[in-house]
Structure formats: structure tokens, C-alpha cells
Amino acid sequence: MNDRSFQVIVIGAGPSGMMAALKARSEGARVLLLEKNSAPGKKLLLTGHGRCNLTNRTIPDTFRERYFENARFLNSSFHTLSPQDVCDYFSSLGVSTHEEDAGRMFPDAQKSQAVLDALIKKIDSEGVTLLCDAEVLSLSRKEGKDGESFWEVETSKGAYTAACVILATGGKAFPQTGSTGAGYQLAKSVGHTVTPLIPSLSPLYLSGFDGKSTAAGNGAEEGEAVLSGLTLEQVRLTLQVSEKNVAKTEGGLLFTHQGISGPSAMRLSRYLPEGKEKSLYEDGKVRVQVHFLPNLREEEVEAKLLDAMTSEPNRAMRNILHSLFMLPDRLVGQILFKAGGDLPANQVTKAVRKKIVSGLCATTYTVSHPAPWEIAYVTRGGVNIKEVDPKTMQSKVAPGLLFCGEILDIDGDSGGYNLQHAWASGFVAGQTASTLSMMPQKMISAQNKR
């Protein structure tokens, strides 16, 4: 061995890469951790608004709904490193944690820096070789003189070799932190496929909110800006693409000066068509429908409204809507303005009443374009999980290659779910890589073919 030859090379010092490197090292492997930034964990520092929501205690119960269609892939790694194990691990590094609402776990220090400092200290004390400002440019499987194969990793600081490589380069979201999607090219270069990439956990940009004209065409949307800053505790959103319902979410909503944000909108963003499907957006075919009273069916809303209008015919519709549904003033004003119904109840025709009900239960906005990667929290899509063994995180395509974290086609909801996946998959990848790296190389290829 020379100082450029290791048993395990981990590419990317984010949460998953740091965990992978530490686990591989704790199992006895000689580990090199490569990071292109000048320091590890740049994105980790931003998590949880600087407080790091590092896992979620409710995961066994909420698992399927929080990790969507690929949840099953996580069964094994979460069994190996559960949310409780994550908290215990950080506690062993001197970072105690506490639970907040909805099972979200935070460090008691209330700072991401405490989590990052503990990891860096451990990396240092355990003897993981950390090399920063080292961007990985390519990787390839080479054949040695003795017929043994190994990985060669070409970096901006020269080439390094190892029996196993762990790709932990993250996704494409928030590229200003270093996660630019370069890892997908590295994975493709050795035979992997990558599923479509969608900026996820991002706000929705809606036409008419920026003061410009709108493609939705219901004539009143120039006024949407008045809603900016308004929050609602519970709405139901339905995403419609080419008039088909694609996804529904429920939860809080925030109107912004560009559209909508808050948990319900952020969750819906993962279902938006890809940005390259430009014509869908340009033709106004991507729409979001808001039900402002999700606990009531449309017929119930209409019945309540009709009842109130009949018993108080001289009362202003504005006041009737307020007392019936407790919705914010500005929203009520906007719904009535669009319906042409800001009148006393006895002057409101059946057609206008129907429009008011529709405004309450099915206001439709046009999504102008997907959010830019710079503001999305995670990436939907990534390295195809069919090509990765969920029990080991090893590639089924390239021997001795492993994956962990956001580079995989796994995205979780907000609430500590994405970091839980990063820690657990990193832990498993590190464990496997260490074991594999101690076997004769021919056996790694054989294992991979199983």
C-alpha cells in the first residue's frame, strides 16, 4: 500500500459520506474521504434552519407515506440503523437530542454546527483520511498486474485507488452547497441509470402572483399578489397535469409573492412534470387546485352557504363567509371578487353562489414553471434503486461500488426523513465496503454477480 492506495474511498463528505467513512473505518478499513468543498458538511449546516432536524421518531409508523413509492427500499437499512440508533450514535459522540412536534429530533445544542463538529472530531480521532478541495473527476475499474481489479478515482489532486468506492455525492438540490449532481455522471460512467430528476420540497411558482398576466384565464388573477404572506392551517391541494389529477396533499399553506409554499405545497412539488417538459407549463396545463375547507365536501359547503343566505338575506356575503368558515379576510375578499359576489346575500344569483363555492373548494392556479434547483431542499429521482442491493447498498452493476444518501432515487418528506436515510444508508454502505475491501478482489466481482 502507498499513500494513494486505500481499502475504501468515499466520495462526498455530506452526512451520508461521513457516516459511511466512519463506519468503514470502525470496521478496520483504511478509508479516504474526498470532498470538493474546502470543508465537509456544508449542506448539513443549513438543515433544520441551522438547527439540524436529524431524524424522526415516528418513522416506523409514517414510513410509507413519508418516503412515497420507494419506501420499501429503506426497510433493511432502517432496521440496521433506526431513528433511535441515530440518536444513540450522536449521544455517543456527545450530541444529546430531544423530540419536538411530529417526532422531529434535534440536537439539544439547537445547532447543526454541534452535529457537524462531532462528526469531524470523530473522523479525525478515528484516523479517516479527509481530503478537502478534492473534486472527483472520474472513476474507473482497473485490472492490476496480478489480475486483481480495483477502482481508480481521478481527482483535482491526482489519482487514488481502492478496492471499494462509495458514491455519496448527494443530489442536485441547493447546488450552492456543492451537491451539483456530478455524482449522477460518475454513476452513469460505470453503467448505472438515473431516473428523472425533479426539484422537490420546493415552493410552487404560480402565474399571476408576480403581477404579470396569467395563462389560467379566469380573468381575476392579476390580484393574487394581495394574498402574499397569508397562512392557512389546513388545505387540500390537487395537482392536475393536462386535466388529470396527479397527486393530492394536505397540510398548511403559505401564500408568497411568487405562489404558494408551506408543507402541503412543498410536498406536492415532487409530482411536478420535469422542467424540460416546457410546453406543458407554457400551455398552462400544469395546475394546482386548492380546497380551502378540506374537512367539508363541496355539497356540504353549498348547503351551509345556502342556509345562511336564506336566514340572513340582507347580510353581506363577506360577513356570511367569515362567520361560517373562519377564513382570512383577504382570502374571502379574493374569492368574492373573482365570483363577482361581494354583495348582500339576496343579490347573489345561483350562478354566482356556485362560483363562490367553487372558489372555496376548487380555486385553480396555473403553475408557471418548476422551482429552480437553488431553492429545492431535495432531489426526487437519482440512481435507479433497482440497480442497488438495499441490504448492502452495493451496486448490482459495478463490483465494489456502493451508494448512500440523496444520490439514490429516494426522497423523503420534510421532518428529518432525508437525514435518517443519509445516516442509515451511509452506515450500511460503510459496513459493506469495509467487509468487501478485506476480501480478495475476485470475490468482490463474484459477490456482485449473485
Ligand X SMILES: Cc1cc2nc3c(=O)[nH]c(=O)nc-3n(C[C@H](O)[C@H](O)[C@H](O)COP(=O)(O)OP(=O)(O)OC[C@H]3O[C@@H](n4cnc5c(N)ncnc54)[C@H](O)[C@@H]3O)c2cc1C
Site membership for ligand X, residue 57 (CB under 6 A) = no
Range 187-193, long-range pairs (CB < 8 A, 24+ positions): 187/383, 187/403, 187/407, 189/138, 189/139, 189/140, 190/139, 190/140, 190/141, 190/395, 190/397, 190/398, 190/401, 191/397, 191/398, 192/383, 192/384, 192/387, 192/395, 192/397, 192/398, 193/383, 193/384, 193/387
- Alpha-helical runs (H) found in 165-257: 182-189
Residues 213, 230, 268, 370, CA torsion sign: positive
| The binder of ligand X chosen from 6, 7, 16, 424 (CB under 6 A) | 16
Comparison of 42 and 338: residue with beta carbon closer to ligand X:
42
Beta carbons within 10 angstroms of residue 303's beta carbon: 13
Site membership for ligand X, residue 182 (CB under 6 A) = yes
CB of 405 to ligand X, least distance (A): 2
| The binder of ligand X chosen from 115, 128, 136, 216 (CB under 6 A) | 136
Residues whose CB is less than 8 angstroms from the CB of residue 138 and which lie 6 or more positions away in sequence, other chains included: 153, 154, 186, 189
| The binder of ligand X chosen from 179, 368, 432, 434 (CB under 6 A) | 179
Please count the residues of this chain forming the interface with ligand X, following the rule CB under 6 A.
39
CB of 266 to ligand X, least distance (A): 11
| The binder of ligand X chosen from 151, 255, 281, 377 (CB under 6 A) | 377
Site membership for ligand X, residue 14 (CB under 6 A) = yes
Coil/strand/helix, residue 414: coil
The length of the chain is 450
CB of 409 to ligand X, least distance (A): 12
Residues whose CB is less than 8 angstroms from the CB of residue 351 and which lie 6 or more positions away in sequence, other chains included: none
Distances (CA, A) of 220 to 227, 335, 363, 421: 13, 10, 12, 44
Site membership for ligand X, residue 37 (CB under 6 A) = yes
Site membership for ligand X, residue 418 (CB under 6 A) = yes
Comparison of 153 and 339: residue with beta carbon closer to ligand X:
153
| The binder of ligand X chosen from 32, 123, 130, 168 (CB under 6 A) | 168
| The binder of ligand X chosen from 27, 35, 221, 389 (CB under 6 A) | 35
| The binder of ligand X chosen from 42, 267, 287, 291 (CB under 6 A) | 42
CB of 421 to ligand X, least distance (A): 7
Comparison of 19 and 332: residue with beta carbon closer to ligand X:
19
Which residue type, as a one-letter code, is found at position 22? L
Region for 415 from its dihedrals, namely left if φ exceeds 0, alpha if ψ lies in -120 to 50, beta otherwise: left
Residues whose CB is less than 8 angstroms from the CB of residue 113 and which lie 6 or more positions away in sequence, other chains included: 45
CB of 40 to ligand X, least distance (A): 6
CB of 16 to ligand X, least distance (A): 3
Residue whose CB is nearest to ligand X in the complex, by number: 14
Site string for ligand X, 327-366 (x = CB under 6 A): ----------------------------------------
Site membership for ligand X, residue 44 (CB under 6 A) = yes
Beta carbons within 10 angstroms of residue 342's beta carbon: 17
Kindly state the greatest CA–CA separation across the chain. 94
| The binder of ligand X chosen from 8, 13, 115, 331 (CB under 6 A) | 13
Where along the sequence are the contacts to ligand X (CB under 6 A)? 11-17, 34-37, 42-44, 46-48, 52-53, 135-136, 168-170, 173-174, 178-179, 182-183, 377-378, 405-406, 416-419, 422
